[in-house]
């Protein structure tokens, strides 16, 4: 590929949202367009231009594809005609999302791994490898570079910074240790256990000396949990007619920690099987994202009766711990104590289908898209 010069205008392929979605999304709600991008930062600004190498597909993006009647914890993606209205609400958005509404009228955004190609910021130099919230496009103008993290272990696969060394990894680490507060010998259940977060939670639990069972949506994924990630047991929830009975079979003495990523009937079954004073770190509820009428949990009184602690987690609350986490997780990877499985789609053209595949269970491991290789 020919090299590019700072200040040059280059073609810029990007993924946009054509319309807001209700119910189950489809890839045709998105479109891949080609425009242009400048490789220069505005004169006197502290912005930077990055070349996107890998972009992450994450379930929370589904919430951003729906128009919100009231502000959500992350804003909906902006359609061109809604730009002015949405800018009025930006003070309500938590970092790191609030800065990205004006990067491009319709470009989807999410976490990605990038290489700096131009910079007006003293802490970021051309050639630096970074990760943070970027556009689903080839080049992105980043107006708040300080929201990005520098990559300290480029000797490991750079794609890992969309997963095990990025947002999903920090979510697993903070959720399990800081919210779950595990003790050696605890009984741990992980739903969506073969995904970007769950596969890490199970392995961290085993390193802590816990007994771990995971659920997944195929026999292939169950095999992965037991034979690659070291779970003590695993089951295909699609083959279990009675989740309550299934959990009683695997946890006859009850569950100490449930790492919640699914919600719905799974959460109901878990509440029946929690031990007194159990902990439930809740990082997602993927079974609910495409439902127009959400599933109500009917036995929530178990939280009272069993004195349970259920706590939600948003990863940016733990950004101050990121570099501590990065060093710890990089060490586990280098020592072979943690394994990580990725599902990599090639090219922005494949990004819409890759994202939608999260909701059908098509992916095996962390889903991401390779935009460019260094």
CATH code at 293? 3.40.50.720
Same domain, 158 and 184: no
Same domain, 72 and 97: yes
Determine, yes or no, domain membership for 321: no
Q: Which residue has the higher pLDDT, 278 or 76?
A: 278
Helices then strands, each counted (H, E), the chain:
9, 15
Judge contact between 250 and 233, C-beta under 8 A. yes
Determine, yes or no, domain membership for 336: no
pLDDT at 92: 36
Please check the confidence at residue 90 and state whether its pLDDT lies above 50.
no
Same domain, 351 and 252: no
Q: Which residue from 207, 212, 181, 191 is spatially nearest to 271, judged by alpha carbons?
A: 191
Tokens of 81: 């005609």
Same domain, 16 and 113: yes
Determine, yes or no, domain membership for 333: no
Q: What is the mean pLDDT of residues 288-293?
A: 82
Same domain, 144 and 209: no
Judge contact between 236 and 219, C-beta under 8 A. yes
pLDDT more than 90, % of the chain: 81
Q: Which residue has the higher pLDDT, 270 or 82?
A: 270
CA distance 103 to 126: 20
What's the mean pLDDT when you consider all of the chain? 91
Coil vs helix vs strand at 331: helix
Q: Which residue has the higher pLDDT, 105 or 282?
A: 282
Q: What is the CATH number of the domain that holds 44?
A: 3.90.180.10
Number of separate domains in the chain: 2
Determine, yes or no, domain membership for 334: no
Same domain, 180 and 156: no
State the pairing for strand pair 187-190/48-56.
unpaired
pLDDT at 103: 39
pLDDT at 5: 59
pLDDT at 106: 67
Same domain, 27 and 154: yes
Rg (CA), the chain: 21
Same domain, 27 and 157: yes
Same domain, 133 and 90: yes
CA distance 15 to 34: 9
Angle between helices 198-207 and 219-227 (to 10 degrees): 30
Determine, yes or no, domain membership for 324: no
Determine, yes or no, domain membership for 345: yes
CA distances from 76 to 80, 229, 306 (A): 12, 35, 37
Give the domain extent around 48.
9-163+341-370
Determine, yes or no, domain membership for 282: yes
Same domain, 68 and 173: no
Tokens of 38: 């400048």
Coil vs helix vs strand at 355: helix
CA distances from 200 to 28, 207, 209 (A): 32, 11, 14
Same domain, 90 and 125: yes
Judge contact between 225 and 193, C-beta under 8 A. yes
Same domain, 268 and 212: yes
Strand partners, 190: 214, 259
Q: Which residues of 18-49 are buried (b: 16+ CB within 10 A; e: fewer)?
A: eebbeeebeeebbebeeeebbbbbeeeebbbb
pLDDT digits (tens, 9 = 90+) for 241-252: 999 999 999 999
Judge contact between 189 and 195, C-beta under 8 A. no
pLDDT at 69: 84
Tokens of 259: 């790492």
Determine, yes or no, domain membership for 325: no
């Amino acid at each position: 590929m020919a090299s590019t010069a700072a200040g040059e205008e280059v073609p810029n392929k990007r993924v946009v949202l054509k319309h807001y979605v209700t119910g189950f999304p489809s890839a045709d709600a998105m479109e891949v367009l080609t425009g242009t991008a400048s490789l220069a930062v505005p004169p006197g600004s502290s912005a930077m231009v990055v070349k996107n190498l890998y972009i992450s597909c994450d379930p929370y993006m589904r919430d951003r594809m729906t128009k919100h009647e009231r502000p959500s914890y992350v804003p909906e993606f902006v359609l061109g005609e809604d730009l002015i209205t949405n800018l009025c609400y930006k003070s309500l958005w938590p970092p790191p999302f609030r800065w990205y509404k004006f990067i491009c009228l319709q470009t989807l955004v999410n976490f990605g791994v990038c290489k700096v190609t131009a910079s007006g910021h003293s802490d970021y130099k051309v050639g630096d490898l970074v990760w943070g919230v970027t556009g689903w496009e080839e080049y992105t103008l980043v107006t708040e570079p300080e929201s990005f993290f520098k990559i300290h272990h480029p000797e490991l696969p750079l794609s890992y910074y969309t997963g095990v060394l990025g947002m999903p990894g920090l979510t697993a680490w903070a959720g399990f240790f800081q919210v779950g507060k595990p003790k050696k010998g605890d009984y741990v259940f992980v739903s969506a256990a073969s995904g970007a977060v769950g596969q890490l939670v199970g392995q961290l639990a085993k390193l802590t000396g816990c007994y771990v069972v995971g659920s997944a949506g195929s026999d292939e994924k169950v095999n992965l949990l037991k034979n690659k990630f070291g779970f003590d047991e695993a089951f295909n929830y699609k083959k279990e007619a009675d989740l309550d009975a299934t959990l009683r079979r695997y946890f006859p003495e009850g569950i100490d920690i449930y790492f919640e990523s699914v919600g719905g009937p799974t959460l109901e079954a878990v509440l029946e099987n929690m031990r007194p004073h159990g902990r439930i770190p809740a990082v997602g509820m993927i079974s609910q994202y495409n439902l127009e009428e959400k599933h109500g949990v009917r036995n929530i009184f178990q939280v009272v009766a069993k004195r349970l602690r259920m706590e939600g987690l948003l990863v940016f609350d733990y950004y101050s711990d990121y570099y501590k986490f990065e060093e710890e997780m990089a060490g586990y990877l280098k020592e072979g104590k943690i394994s990580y499985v990725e599902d990599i789609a090639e090219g922005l053209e494949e990004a819409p289908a890759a994202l939608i595949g999260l909701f059908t269970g098509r992916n095996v491991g962390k889903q991401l898209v390779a935009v460019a290789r260094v």
